[in-house]
Structure 1
């Protein structure tokens, strides 16, 4: 009882660290989520790879013809765009349900809420790992030659994970208190998919429409995709994402400090 009391009244940093330092728990829970989702399935999580591969294979030649772009140039652009957008979308969508889907744990005893944010993020990382392998045959077919710029993919991925954790806390808290926000976020992500260069090339935009590239999801996509296509993302995108990371981390931290103890009462 005294342990539960001390946990509920510890400072926000200690509460955050208590959940973050237990990857053995949240990684195991994330893996079980994947296993249960594909229980009694013959191929299991490989269906993630196959379904994404079929979609990319069907859309590539069609959209290349529609946009009048050489297939060898457009196909890796589309493949990476679809893979990364699927990652973005699942992170944001799952963030809205982070605490609601973990209510049976939170109602039974003390658990630091960051544990379930990491669980959601780990589950999406596992799914992403099953899908990013599709990049290898696409890159070999398109003859992409990587340079040292490809190493910039890793700091970009780190920034994505930091943002994903902050967004997980932010949306998890807001959507637990206000359930209608989940529907707003879902609709917003559907709209942003068409305002982000997933299916189209940024250079095809007219000058007056380039403001859509200020979209942080478009900037994050450029940081991740460009190094894997043998290029280097612009400094503008790095600065934009760094500013966005600081902003989301600060807002998520403030909400976490103020409302972390109320989550169980909102469930």
Structure 2
């Protein structure tokens, strides 16, 4: 068999799917590595990962309080809104920025440990879900201070988080492969994500735009896909009405994203060890 034949055989959807399945099957490995990442980052720290919780909580309280005064919004409504927005944003932000570095950061393991590439992506998403669990404590405290009525429909947050995690996986796969090949992608994504933060309704909402006479921008904001990802998690936890269009957009983007991820894995999975 020639090198060309071997390369052609490696570029199949079966091999790409096999990598994803085999990587998920090594749960003990990536669960352990993800947990060790948290412990290593906060080694000899008394509060450990709760430092991130404190930082996120401080930012949420400061921004929620400031913008509620600036835009004359009820603090009891705006503070939980901003808090959830920041918590979900941190999860999405990490899947993009750390996802772009996921293979580069694991160069040693990729070259020395014969394991599916997807293991490193699952490790990243698992680590971010642990941090998300720490940060959600902030919202629990705020929900106790400013209680909201709940109903069974609010349990939709569970499949919503599952969709977010599934999207984090394909985002990290796509950007990880792309940024490994083209190292300028990482800094470019950093600038783009920073811009998206201000274009996403995290510290402001539609009523804020209307109050400032910019109601027409609401249609432009709808083009931002992150709006829909935020809403499917934030609306159930706030006890707000859930809109079907947000779920439809997220489901469509999930299918499209995984299609691109499958194509990227099929075509470039075997090349990543040579690029890192």
Fold similarity call, TM over 0.5:
yes
* Residues 171-205 of structure 1: per-residue CA shift (max 9 Å, x gap): 11000000100111111110000111100012332
Deviations 1:210-246 (A, max 9, x none): 1212311111101110100111321111111111111
Aligned equivalent of 2:244: 235
Q: Deviations over 1:96-153 (max 9, x none)?
A: 0110011101111422100000011111111111101111111121121211121111
State the match for 2:17 in structure 1. 13
Q: 1:107 maps to which residue?
A: 111
- What is the CA-CA distance between 1:28 and the residue it aligns to? 0.5
Equivalent residue for 2:227? 218
Deviation, 1:59, is 2.1
Structure 2 gaps, min length 5: 1-5
Q: Which runs of 5+ in 1 are unaligned?
A: none
| In the alignment, structure 1 residue 86 sits paired with structure 2 residue 94 | no
Q: Distance in 2 between matches of 1:236 and 1:84?
A: 19
What is the alpha-carbon root mean square deviation over aligned residues?
Answer: 1.5
Q: TM-score, normalised by structure 2?
A: 0.91
Larger RCO (CA under 8 A, 6+ residues apart) = 2
Alpha-carbon offset, residue 20 of structure 1: 1.0
Q: Tell me, what secondary structure is at the counterpart of 2:44?
A: coil
Q: TM-score, normalised by structure 1?
A: 0.94
Assess if the C-alpha contact under 8 Å between 2:22 and 2:116 holds in 1: yes
1:146 — aligned with what? 150
Q: Which residue of 2 aligns with 1:187?
A: 191
Per the TM alignment, residue 256 of structure 1 is displaced from its structure 2 partner at its CA by 0.3
1:53-108 per-residue CA deviation (whole Å, 9 max, x = no partner) reads: 22222222211101110111111111111111111111111100110011101111
CA distance in 1: counterparts of 2:28 and 2:21, whole angstroms: 14
Matches of 1:56 and 1:15 in 2, distance apart?
Answer: 39
Q: Is the 8 A contact 1:149 1:232 kept in 2?
A: no
Q: Is the 8 A contact 1:48 1:131 kept in 2?
A: yes
Q: Supply the distance in 1 between the matched residues of 2:50 and 2:187 (Cα, whole angstroms).
A: 29
Retained in 1: the 8 A contact 2:199–2:221? yes
